[in-house]
Amino acid sequence: MTGAAVRSVRASGPVPQGIALPGIILGIGLGGFADGILLHQVLQWHHLLSSSATAHIDIASYPVTTVHGLQMNTLWDGIFHTVTWLAVLVGLGILYSRLSDPRERVWASRVLWGWILLGWGVFNVVEGVIDHHLLAIHHVVSGEHQMLADILFLVLGALLIVGGWLVQRSSTPSAHSTPVTPSGPDRGLPSRR
C-alpha cells in the first residue's frame, strides 16, 4: 500500500456498527428542525395547528389571523421544536454510547449520513400522513394547491428514505466490519465477536 493510500484509510477511519438507530433518530430530529424552522418560522406557510378549523379531530380552531390562534400555534410550535430537540439529544447520546473510541471518524461516515437522511424521510412521511392527511391540523401550504403540496411533501420524504438507504448501503463493506466495544466499565477492551 502506498503512503497516500494508508493516509486515506486512516483519514476515513472505521465506521462503527450499530449507528442505524442513532442515525434515524438524529434524522427525525433534524428533519423536524428543518420543517419547523423553514416552514413554520421563516416561510410561515403553516404552524402546527394552523388548519385546526378543518381538522379531522375535534379540536378548537386556532387561526393564525387572531392573537389567540397565533399564541396557541406558537406554543404548539415550541412543543414540536422541544420534541425534535430531544430527538437530536437522544440520537447523539446513543451514538456517543456506541463509539468505542471518541476519535472515530463517524461524522465522515456515509453510513451515518445515510441513516440521518432516512430518518429525515421517516419524519416527513409520518408527520405528513398524520398531520396533513389523517388529522388535517395543518397543511404545507393552505389554499388551492394544498393537496399537491402535501403530496409533494410525502414524495420528498419517500425520496429521502430511499436516498438515505442507498447512501448508507454505498459504504464499503470494510467500513461495516469494525466491531464497536460497549460503553461502560469494560470500555476500551477488545470487543468480542
Report whether 9 contacts 3 (CB < 8 A). no
Domain-wise residue ranges, the chain: 17-171
Out of 26-30, 97-101, 139-143, which region has the weakest mean confidence (pLDDT)?
97-101
**Alpha carbon separation from 141 to 47, 92, 112, 129, 162 (Å, rounded):** 10, 32, 32, 15, 25
pLDDT of residue 9: 36
Question: Using CA atoms, how far apart are residues 49 and 139, in angstroms rounded to an integer?
Answer: 9
What is the per-residue pLDDT across 102-129, written as a single tens digit (0 to 9) for each? 666 666 678 888 999 999 999 999 999 9
Phi, psi of 144, deg, nearest 5: -60, -40
Q: Is the pLDDT of residue 33 over 90?
A: yes
51 pLDDT band, cuts 50/70/90, is confident
Which DSSP symbol is given to 98? Answer: T
Nearest in space to 25 (alpha carbons), one of 111, 91, 70: 91
Most confident of 1-5, 9-13, 157-161, 181-185: 157-161
Average pLDDT for the chain: 80
What does pTM read for this prediction? Answer: 0.67
Report whether 24 contacts 119 (CB < 8 A). yes
The rounded percent of the chain whose pLDDT value lies above 90 is: 44
